Structure 1
């Protein structure tokens, strides 16, 4: 551990989690942001022969972790849709030759035909499945990333292809999962008598504040004054939509600030450029959606502003957790509209929009359910029906559907 990570000893409960994974037992692990989750599954993977699959939500998260492992000359790789073809072929060849210990990939890539075919080869030893940032299963699985809802079928399907007696353990890691979210993760992943490690996400070096704003202009002015009081300090401004990130970043740029808008609609090259500029200190802060943050390793973030409050507490905990990862004090400010919504209805309107959108998607899923055959293929349903994959995920969430494999 000291040779590759530079640590003399584990932080509680890292050692216990590592032993659990080496014993190939299922686990649900909830540790604070910056709590050293990655080493808990990376070290066991490197101590065993065979492959550990790490299911990860974001390309940036995969790239950051894999690059750190490669810098240490450790056998890790990643697969995602943005990889150049030659790199993808190199990784698939390394997989077939059993040269890897860790393979990072998204749920969608895991379930793609080319990758799945290779993972099902009987001679390929798979020790475990790691679901990193497992809260994404709860936040995105019903609508944005329906492939998450199919992950429970992965282990049984893989075991059918492997020699008799093969064991594949599943461990899920996150910083945020309330009791309901924990139940969803256990159910979807079909965890078998999992050991649960639950550590409070609260970090005492974060100074958390919530302030009320009365007008849209007042909201902007409050953030501007906040940033003015923190010259040259690295920070993040979180918004809830792509449009807001672009409009607000443009306004700050017009005032002379070094900033950029960041959201999932940007191309991969543009996202990497913004990340690198912020990490190096050339860009003081980024105006971003929830697409930014996970896996981007910058320890000296001194402040985080929520220009608009997140809809979920788990999102809030994840996003303020970007601050103060070096253990030094960091500030986090959340702005909320006045409670009546008369003077500044933005927050109320946004919440109503997302609630209406969710109700509409559930209604569409119920209509689709009447048209589906008793059994079918996900790819065919997704092709035949608009938003078919999302509808299937919603039906699964409502316990009206079972994934076979």
Structure 2
């Protein structure tokens, strides 16, 4: 099918392909509207709860049109899961990442060169690596769309952890200039969690043009939210054991904050006779896949994991999620608890926290302070470096001259003092950057949630911009309402 025919695609054809590939009778609202929007080349921002069927919304339009849809995704495990599912259906999808064997990489690049792919999954860093960019930028490669999956990562990580996210808004104008026969393509951002400030950041950074917004309320009446105070490290482990002992036949997830935590806790639970595994981004693709499959099939009832687990892994019958340590951000929390109860049946989320003063058990407080201090240091270092950077330049060249310059440029862009002329060349407008407190504010908001006495679902709805729906909320599905 020719690209110019995408506008004249009959809705019957769209639905027929949907039924043929995925086997469902009809779309769930607002899947149909999102698909129409992307087929008509309209930018979109989609905030839809975990398990709401987001990936179909961009996969189907990509498969229905000639040309390539680029899916920018934050984690290799997430890309692997989605691409494997598509390949099992014999669909033209592939992924590129730095850990791939060179033969596999060459095969994918060949398919790309021959215009035989419809979906290509890759990280922002891989997309803007010179070898991949030069191929995608070639006039004969028709780019049909740019999708940012798990778009909250742009907000959470874009300033200092993964600065390449900040350059994504320069991709469309650069590609359209190089492919002069092509008029336009849609950019869409998909995430389960974005408060109004995060939505604005995503729109600005991606340079979305009059985007259509699809914002779904995250409230799940079947999901019970609970926070429990523990007073000592021993007390924390005892509460974990008490919780999982009564749920040994149920599927669940234990979330921790670091790789080290996941390994130590998994080893300790194995010694006590529990079948589990530690899952984190440091494992190889094969190791991650093995653990995912064991959990999906039920031979592992629960996994001790970092936030690397769960994005894009669909298991409807997860009955519980336990946070052994609280996430630092409310968006992470909502992502992770949202992995429970996707089948609509009752599920429980429990978060263990040390008491607010940290007087007897300071670990949680120390973690928060360490993170904030780390951010502050990165901004201070960036500010020092900014004074030395040339007013305009090319990022690879600057990176060779100045260590951490990518972060410094990202911080400048975040504060509105730098413009990307294209994904590789910048111009600095001003060189003084105040330390932004949005990360501090976000950590403070998480702390308020953990200590609130109001309905927890109400707190979440207000925090994520659903104030109207929150007004009459007394959910009956959180520890505060049940009290």
Equivalent position SS for 2:189: strand
Distance 2:325 2:123 in 1: 28
The answer to whether residue 278 in structure 2 is matched with residue 261 in structure 1 is yes
The answer to whether residue 79 in structure 2 is matched with residue 34 in structure 1 is no
Corresponding residue of 1:100? 117
Corresponding residue of 1:304? 321
Cα distance, 1:165 vs. partner? Answer: 5.0
The answer to whether residue 381 in structure 2 is matched with residue 396 in structure 1 is no
Q: Where in structure 2 are the equivalents of 1:276-315 lying within 5 Å?
A: 276-315=293-332
Contact kept, 8 Å, 1:238 with 1:306, in 2: the verdict is yes
Equivalent position SS for 1:303: strand
Cα distance, 1:81 vs. partner? Answer: 1.2
Distance 1:249 1:229 in 2: 18
Contact kept, 8 Å, 1:27 with 1:171, in 2: the verdict is yes
Corresponding residue of 1:178? 195
What are structure 2's unaligned runs of at least 5 residues?
1-17, 423-483
Distance 1:388 1:279 in 2: 42
Distance 2:182 2:92 in 1: 26
Corresponding residue of 1:209? 226
Contact kept, 8 Å, 2:51 with 2:314, in 1: the verdict is no
Distance 1:285 1:392 in 2: 41
Corresponding residue of 1:359? 376
Contact kept, 8 Å, 2:77 with 2:285, in 1: the verdict is no
Cα distance, 1:110 vs. partner? Answer: 0.5
Distance 1:163 1:282 in 2: 53
Contact kept, 8 Å, 2:94 with 2:121, in 1: the verdict is yes
Distance 1:105 1:325 in 2: 27
The answer to whether residue 126 in structure 2 is matched with residue 148 in structure 1 is no
**CA displacement 1:60-119 (0-9 Å, x = unmatched):** 111111111111121111111122111111111111111111111111110011110111
Q: Where in structure 2 are the equivalents of 1:2-401 lying within 5 Å?
A: 2-401=19-418
Equivalent position SS for 1:74: coil
Distance 1:158 1:398 in 2: 25
Distance 1:246 1:151 in 2: 35
Contact kept, 8 Å, 1:29 with 1:173, in 2: the verdict is yes
Equivalent position SS for 2:419: coil
Pair 3,274 (structure 1): closer, same or farther in 2 beyond 3 Å: same
Equivalent position SS for 2:392: coil
Cα distance, 1:268 vs. partner? Answer: 2.8
Distance 1:278 1:14 in 2: 28
Equivalent position SS for 1:402: strand
What are structure 1's unaligned runs of at least 5 residues?
none
Contact kept, 8 Å, 1:236 with 1:304, in 2: the verdict is yes
Contact kept, 8 Å, 2:68 with 2:143, in 1: the verdict is yes
Contact kept, 8 Å, 1:64 with 1:297, in 2: the verdict is no
Pair 270,385 (structure 1): closer, same or farther in 2 beyond 3 Å: farther
Cα distance, 1:226 vs. partner? Answer: 0.2
**CA displacement 1:359-380 (0-9 Å, x = unmatched):** 0000000011011011122223
Equivalent position SS for 1:41: helix
Distance 2:220 2:171 in 1: 35
TM-score by length of 1: 0.97
Cα distance, 1:149 vs. partner? Answer: 1.0
TM-score by length of 2: 0.82
Higher-Rg member (1/2): 2
Distance 1:331 1:402 in 2: 46
Runs of 4+ deviating beyond 3 Å: none
Contact kept, 8 Å, 2:158 with 2:164, in 1: the verdict is yes
Q: RMSD across aligned C-alpha pairs, in angstroms?
A: 1.3
**CA displacement 1:6-65 (0-9 Å, x = unmatched):** 111111111111100001011101111110101111111111111111111111111111
Equivalent position SS for 1:32: coil
Distance 2:123 2:182 in 1: 27
* Corresponding residue pairs, total: 405
Higher relative contact order structure (alpha carbons within 8 Å, sequence separation ≥ 6): 1
